[in-house]
Structures are given as structure tokens and as C-alpha cells.
Amino acid sequence: MGQTFSLGRLAGIRIGVNWSVLVILALLTLGLAEGRLPEAHPGDPGWLYWAVGLVTAAAFLLSLLAHEISHALVARRHGVEADSITLWLLGGVARLRSEAPDPRAELRIAGSGPLVSLVLGAVFAGLAALIRAAAGPGLAAEAVAWLAGINILLALFNVLPAAPLDGGRLLRAAVWRRTGDPVRATVVASAAGRVLGWSLVALGLYLVLLGAGFGGIWLVLIGWFLVAAATVEGGQARLRELLSGVSVREAMSPDPVTAPASATVEDFLESPAFRYRHSAFPVVGDDGAPAGLVTLHDARAVPAAARATTRLAEVMLPLEEIPTAAPGDPLARSCPLSRPPPPAARSSWRTAGWPASSPPPTSAGSPPG
């Protein structure tokens, strides 16, 4: 899922959101404003429920962002750079450039997210208690208590030992440490992810038959996503195993067709030299050194009237934003096989924390708070 809106950079990491986050923000706000808040404290104006619900839902998204940032920062401490963090319909994705170097690093990277969510839950719980002590029960205390419950449930769901959740990463670290085989560890974690996913699908279908409606459908969606992500991850692990011992040199094209950065988009699209069955071409500078990569899609996106004056250097993807490899590097570590949604499909809305009485999906267990 790509970034629809960019929120800038935090600690050098690009932060963005997919448009689907607006759907979740709306559902959370609706569930709080029409469900939990008026049921817990009836008699307040409707606009107040909606205002508190919106602020609370936004605070939860910030909590989720903190969860993902912790993964990225701990990964950086272990030599694994993070490109970006994107919030989307089913949670957050922290895109890491490579795998953890060893089981201990994997354990720390994976465990940091649930730990942050647990700490946030404790902080919100303490804040809710202080608000109740100072001002008595009210909407503010109820909203903060909801944030405490959903963060704690987020942490607990995350540590279930199944990929691609954080718990799957913890399981992978344990198996990797025990066997010394990261590929086998990934296969074990992905198998556990498929079991959990199908279990959620079955539970969701059962709830639909009982009349749970959207809540059951939501569980089916979460389960299906886990199954798909775990299956992809397991397949990639097996592919890495097959590619072990193969170098980039053995798979690369020694003399690829390149496009000069100074060429116009019009020349690039119309020249017979680039009429190959390729969707992208390396771009080189005047000195012949690699400068970036240009895709046919990006070139064709340039308006026809501007193609004659637009250089490839203006539409290409810069070299620093492209994963690169040396001819002698292992192919298994150089091709784009890193975690499908890297450690982060883990932050899917965890089926935890939806107000049980509201139209949006209910939690897998009981509502927090």
C-alpha cells in the first residue's frame, strides 16, 4: 500500500498515510460517538460525543505510529535502515531495507512495538485514574480509558506467535536462535501465521452466522490478510533457500540497455533503442555512471506537450532511493525478498478495541476499558 498523504519526516524516516486510514478514522469516531461514549455517559450534547470521539480516534492513530516508529528506531540501532512508515486500513507498515542481522536483533526489533503499546496503555490507564480522581467520571476519563484498553489489547494481540505479527517475529527469533537457520525459522513463523489467520476466518464466519454482521466480516478480513501475508512470507523464505549460493553476477544482465539522463522523455518513448519487453530502464549520467531508474509508466505520465522538454533526469527514480547490489553479493539477499509487509503487518487493527455496541466491527474478545 502506497502513501497517499505525506506527513513529512520524523527522525529521518518518511511518515505517510494511505487514504484508507480515513475510513478507519471515520469508523473509530463513529463507534465512539454513537456507541461507547453516549452509553457510558448519556445526556451530553451530540456534538461533544463526536468531538471527543474524533480526538480519541486520532490519538489512537498516533499511538499506532509510535508503535511503528519504535520498530524503525530499534532496527536502526542494529544496522537495519528504515525507509518509511505508512499507516493504512489494517494498521501500519515500517519498511526496512534488510533483515535483522541475528536472532537477538530480531527479538529486540520485534519486541519494541508491543512494549511501546503496553507502556502507552499503562500511561493512559494512569492518566484516566488521575482524571477520575480530579474531576470524577466523564467523557475525558472514558476516552483516555478506551485508549488504555486498546493499546494494551494491541500489545497482547501483537505478541501472538504468528507471522506477520510481532509475535511471529519473536517466534522466528527463537527458532533461529535454536536452529541457526533463519529460513527454517521464517517457515515455522509463517505456518503459525496461516493457522492463526484461518482460525480468525473461521471465527468470523461463525460470528456472521450468529448475526454479528460487520464484526464477523471484519474478523474474516483480518484473518484473510494474515493468511495471505504469511503465505507470501513463507514462499519468499523457500525462494531464498533455493537461491542460496547464487550470486548476483550469475543472474544479472552484464550489458543492460541504459538511457541517458539528458535524453528527453519524447526520445525515450519513441526511440527504437528502448522498444524492449522491459518496463524500466537504468539511467546513466554523462560519465556513464548509474544515476537512477526510469519506468515507462512514469515517462508516459508526463503530458504529451511537455515530453520534448522534459529530461529523464526529472522523472527518474534517483539512485539513492533504489536498492542496489554488487555482482558478488548473494542473490537471495539482493533481490526484493524482504518481509512482505516488513515486520509490520503486525500493526493491523488487531481486531481489538472496537466498541462492541457500535456499528463498526466488534473486538475479537471484549471491548477494552
Catalytic residues: 68
Distance CA 292, CA 313 (A): 8
Contact (Cβ atoms closer than 8 angstroms) between residue 79 and residue 64 = no
Contact (Cβ atoms closer than 8 angstroms) between residue 280 and residue 297 = no
Q: Which residues pair with 282 in a beta bridge?
A: 293
Q: Which amino acid is at 4?
A: T
Collapse the DSSP code of 90 into the 3-class scheme (helix H, G, I; strand E, B; otherwise coil) and give the result. Answer: coil
H/E segment holding residue 197: helix 182-209
Distance CA 353, CA 365 (A): 9
Distance CA 258, CA 180 (A): 41
- Sheet containing strand 259-260, edge to edge, reads 259-260, 280-284, 290-295, 317-318
Contact (Cβ atoms closer than 8 angstroms) between residue 364 and residue 353 = no
DSSP 361: P
Q: Which of 161, 22, 11 is nearest to 88 (CA)?
A: 22
- Look up residue 123 and give its three cell numbers: 500511561
Distance CA 100, CA 107 (A): 9
Furthest CA-CA distance within the chain: 76
Distance CA 302, CA 71 (A): 37
Q: Which of 351, 93, 5, 327 is nearest to 199 (CA)?
A: 351
For residue 211, count other CB atoms closer than 10 A to its CB.
Answer: 8
